[in-house]
Amino acid sequence: MRRKQEVMEISIVAFLIFSACLTIYHGVDAQHHWSYRNYNGPEKWPEMYPSQCTGYYQSPVDIRTDETRCNLQLTTFGFYDPPQGGKFIAHNNAHSIQVDTNGQFFLAYGGLQDRYRISQLHFHWGSSNDKGSEHKINDEAAPMEMHIVSWNVDKYSSMAEAVTKPDGLAVLSILFRVSYYDNPLLEPLVQVIPYIRDPEWNNSVEIPCVAISAFLPRCPEKYYRYHGSLTTPRCYESVTWTVFKEKQTISERQLYYFRSALMAHTTKEFPIPHTPHTIVNPSGEILDLLVDNARPTQPLNGRVIERSFPYLDVV
């Protein structure tokens, strides 16, 4: 009988220890729920992810054009898309409007040593037209930036494996300027934003699939290149960045739809204060608009940004 009681006591202690470990684990996860707002925004990321978001080669950066260096080995990109049966699936991941690719979309050349498989594209935008992009050109932000994210398929077996490797990812960055006219390439996505506006709905909507190369701005052979990181936690320094010199266009009407999207709902741990970028739903819950989802620019720390074209514009 005593032996049985000892076994029961050991089992209870083991269960309590296991439960405590789960509590600690989930507590850490809760603390590491990052966002773009003050309570867990970009200024907090180095504390939340000290081994990743404090690196020496972080992104985004401010591209000072007169400090760039010409590299004529940065050639034109090659795209192998869209594949037969390829799909675009749009959703709100609570940090951005994202379009996942379904199919064999590939990127090559453009100074890249390997082939990269395009997995998704997403956007960063501002609450006004003087901000929104993550990268800046000569300290000037754009109202929106698109990232086309791809991973090294020649060396790694998955995005999860590639994301921590120095040559694991290649991201194409396209800045936008406001136009009087709608951009027809963006319109299919704009039309479904009302259906994916709230990330709590957990909705995904298929939109027409087009060639990824169609999203590039005019003169796609002109771009800037540097090595950096993901611009969201965990900020892995695994990205070969391409920032195109020219801009794509978006209308004010189309920007309005992006600016109507919502972030994740408030929690008791991190209540959302009432600000110009919040709305109140019929039940009285304060909801945060998904705007200004951009990390501030990071120091170059000695990095030299290259450009694919020989001459800078003379103003």
The pLDDT value recorded for residue 39 is 82
| Confidence at residue 11, expressed as pLDDT on a 0 to 100 scale | 42
Q: What whole-number distance in Å separates Cα of residue 121 and Cα of residue 81? A: 14
304, pLDDT greater than 80: yes
Give me the percent of the chain exceeding a pLDDT of 90. Answer: 77
Q: How confident is the model over 192-234, as pLDDT tens digits?
A: 999 999 999 999 999 999 999 999 999 999 999 999 999 999 9
Domains of the chain: residue spans and CATH: 35-307 (3.10.200.10)
Residue 147 catalytic?
Answer: no
User: Angle, nearest 10°, between helix axes 252-259 and 187-196?
Assistant: 30
pLDDT recorded at residue 266: 55
Instruction: Summarize pLDDT for 124-160 with one digit per residue, the tens.
Output: 999 999 999 999 999 999 999 999 999 999 999 999 9
Q: Name the amino acid, one letter, at 123.
A: F
Q: What is the pLDDT of residue 14?
A: 38
Comparing CA positions, the residue from 119, 44, 112 lying closest to residue 78 is 112
DSSP-derived secondary structure for 140-158: B--SEEEEEEEEETTT-SS
Catalytic choice (26, 32, 91, 95):
95
Residue 295: predicted pLDDT: 98
Please name the residues in contact with 24: beta carbons below 8 A apart, sequence gap of 6 or more: none
Report the alpha-carbon distance of residue 140 to residue 137 in Å, rounded.
Answer: 5
pLDDT confidence band for 33 (50 / 70 / 90): confident
Centroid of chain to Cα 192:
20
